[in-house]
């Protein structure tokens, strides 16, 4: 796809990755895009590059607008592989360019490339770059989501280039929010934002709130938010800030995600009465079987619901492997403001439910004790107990939800 103009003399020159379905373990059913931007002025600036495999595409897009040899400045907002691994290909065509990068970014970039051959300028929050009639201003955003991360504001055009923040894994010919919404829907876009936030930004809620406050305090007017993945926000850029603040403040649906796996369908047989109990309490429920669902989707569903019940059979006195793997993944994302519980079947001796509660404790999650275990296969009596377990848990979720 050719370059797309955001505003006069400001172009998207990135690449669409329609085919990717596994983005370092993250399920991407809509593919993704690697966005980078070219700004024409007396001196020409490139903001970010793309994943190595797409170097030819961004170079072609740049050449479609300008001779790359005329690029004087290359701003690197983030050094993860999907944004810098074509930097040497671009720099080979722009030998006079200076790279602008945070201090931690430079230290990371040294692990990718020999920097001796390039001019590098380390920048910090508040530093500016004037290219003639336009001025860029840098704002460091460490741990949003890597230590090196920063965003760049283009004053005259009121564009905030945000690297991964405010992105979504979407490949679409419509490069802007209004175009995507017209082709699909606002709900599909919102779901993509929540998916991306849950799987990438969940641990960094406090930093998100701080940085949004800092940007608002700076008084920057923002017409366009231009992330490094997915669609560009021009219709209502304030809305994505609001969505992020809501998510960082722990916004969730009054519902329960039942996330489980099963060995001989005994734990699975507990699901129907448990979900009936949840519904009896007037709470919505969604059931996710782990070996039938990509981990990133199970993470998103956990994050969307105020409560989660984790179900696992006991295997060799410990948690079933797919459930243990999921919980490890979840722990790394440091979830907060969710109420959890656990259930499962066992044969010779329990173990899984206790281990899951230990994991909840490590995560610092609020849990409803003591969980529910069923010997071998649920009997009719056990099904009644499962129903009450689901109902009691959902009632506690309602109380918990009302605190937010
Ligand atoms: Fe899209 Fe943190 O890389």
DSSP 204: G
Q: Compute how many other C-beta atoms are within 10 angstroms of the C-beta atom of residue 84.
A: 26
Q: Which protein residues are within 6 Å of ligand 1, measured from CB?
A: 78, 80, 82-83, 145-146, 164, 228-229
Atom of ligand 1 nearest to the CA of 167: 1
Per-residue pLDDT averaged across 29-34, rounded? 97
Determine the distance separating the centroid of ligand 1 and the alpha carbon of 80, expressed in angstroms.
5
Domains and CATH numbers, the chain: 4-248 (3.60.15.10), 256-399 (3.40.50.360)
pLDDT at 113 over 90: yes
- 160 beta partners: 153, 225
- Ligand 1 atom nearest to CA at 145: 2
303, 203 Cβ separation under 8 angstroms: no
Examine the pLDDT at 348 and tell me if it is beyond 90: no
Q: Say how many Å lie between the CA of residue 214 and the centre of ligand 1.
A: 22
Give me the mean pLDDT over the 296-321 stretch.
Answer: 97
Tens-place pLDDT, residues 119-132 = 999 999 999 999 99
- Is 275 exposed, middle or buried (CB count within 10 Å of its CB: 0-12, 13-18, 19+)? buried
What's the average model confidence in pLDDT over 158-178?
Answer: 97
Indicate which atom in ligand 1 lies nearest the CA of residue 200. Answer: 2
Average pLDDT, rounded, for the chain:
97
pLDDT given at position 294: 95
What's the rounded mean pLDDT across residues 253-281? 98
Residue whose CA lies nearest to ligand 1 atom number 2? 80
Confidence band for 139, pLDDT divided at 50, 70 and 90: very high
- In the reported structure, the alpha carbon of residue 224 is separated from the centroid of ligand 1 by a whole-number distance in angstroms of 20
CA 162 – ligand 1 centroid, Å: 11
Give the mean pLDDT of 372-395: 97
Q: Where are the beta strands (DSSP E) in 204-338?
A: 224-226, 253-260, 284-289, 305-311, 314-315, 318-319
Span 309-330, mean pLDDT? 97
How is residue 216 written in tokens? 């608002």
- For residues 146 and 200, is the Cβ–Cβ distance under 8 A? no
164 Cα–ligand 1 center, Å: 5
Band of residue 349 on the pLDDT scale cut at 50, 70, 90: confident
CA 142 to centroid of ligand 1, rounded, Å: 13
Mean pLDDT on 37-63 = 98
State the pairing for strand pair 37-39/44-47. Answer: antiparallel
What is the pTM assigned to this prediction?
Answer: 0.94
Residues belonging to the active site = 24, 78, 80, 82, 145, 164, 196, 229
Atom from ligand 1 closest to the CA of residue 34: 1
pLDDT exceeds 90 at position 49: yes
Q: Would you say residue 388 has pLDDT above 90?
A: yes
- Which residue, judged by its Cα, is nearest atom 3 of ligand 1? 80
Could you list the beta-strand ranges (E) of 201-252.
224-226
Question: Which pLDDT band holds residue 248 (cuts at 50, 70, 90)?
Answer: very high
The answer to whether the CB of 114 falls within 8 A of the CB of 134 is no
The encoded tokens of residue 346 equal 């066992």
Task: Please report which confidence band the pLDDT of residue 79 belongs to, taking 50, 70 and 90 as the band edges.
Answer: very high
Measure the CA–CA gap between 149 and 80, rounded to whole angstroms: 9
Which pLDDT score, from 0 to 100, does residue 358 have?
98
Contact (CB, 8 A) for 285 and 259: no
142 in Cβ contact with 104 (< 8 Å) = yes
Q: How confident is the model at residue 385 (pLDDT cuts 50, 70, 90)?
A: very high
Digit-coded pLDDT (tens) for 12-26: 999 999 999 999 989
pLDDT > 90 fraction of the chain, expressed in percent and rounded:
97
């Amino acid at each position: 796809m050719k370059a797309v103009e955001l505003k006069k003399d400001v172009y998207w020159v990135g690449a669409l990755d329609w085919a990717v379905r596994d983005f370092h373990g993250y399920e991407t059913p809509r593919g993704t895009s690697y966005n980078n931007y070219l700004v024409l002025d007396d001196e020409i600036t490139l903001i970010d590059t793309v994943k190595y495999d797409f170097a030819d595409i961004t170079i072609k897009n740049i050449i479609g607008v300008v001779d790359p040899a005329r690029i004087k400045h290359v701003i690197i907002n983030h050094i993860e592989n999907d944004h810098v691994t074509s930097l040497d290909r671009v720099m080979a065509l722009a030998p006079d360019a200076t790279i602008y990068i945070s201090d931690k970014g430079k230290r990371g970039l040294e692990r990718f490339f020999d920097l001796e051959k390039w001019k590098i300028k380390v920048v910090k929050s508040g530093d500016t770059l004037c290219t003639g009639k336009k001025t860029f201003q840098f704002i460091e955003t460490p741990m949003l989501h890597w230590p090196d991360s920063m965003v760049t504001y283009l004053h005259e055009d009121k564009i905030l280039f945000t690297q991964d923040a405010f992105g979504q894994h979407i490949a679409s010919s419509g490069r802007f929010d209004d175009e995507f919404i017209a082709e699909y829907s606002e709900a599909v876009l919102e779901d993509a934002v929540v998916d991306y936030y849950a799987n990438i930004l969940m641990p960094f809620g406090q930093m998100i709130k701080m940085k949004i406050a800092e940007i608002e305090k700076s008084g920057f007017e923002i017409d366009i938010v231009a992330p490094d993945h997915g669609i560009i926000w021009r219709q209502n850029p304030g809305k994505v800030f609001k969505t992020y603040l809501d998510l960082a403040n722990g916004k969730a649906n009054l519902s329960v995600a039942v996330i489980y796996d099963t060995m001989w369908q005994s734990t699975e047989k507990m699901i129907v009465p448990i979900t009936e109990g949840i519904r009896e309490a007037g709470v919505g429920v969604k059931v996710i079987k782990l070996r039938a669902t990509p981990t990133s989707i199970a993470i998103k569903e956990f994050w969307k619901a105020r409560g989660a019940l984790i179900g696992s059979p006991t295997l060799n006195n410990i948690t079933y492997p797919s459930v243990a793997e999921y919980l490890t993944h979840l722990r790394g994302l440091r979830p907060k403001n969710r109420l959890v519980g656990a259930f499962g079947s066992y044969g010779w001796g329990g173990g899984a439910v206790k281990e899951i509660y230990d994991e909840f404790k490590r995560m610092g999650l609020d849990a409803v004790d003591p969980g529910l275990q069923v010997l071998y296969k649920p009997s009719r009596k056990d099904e009644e107990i499962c129903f009450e377990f689901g109902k009691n848990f959902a009632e506690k979720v309602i109380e918990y939800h009302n605190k937010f």
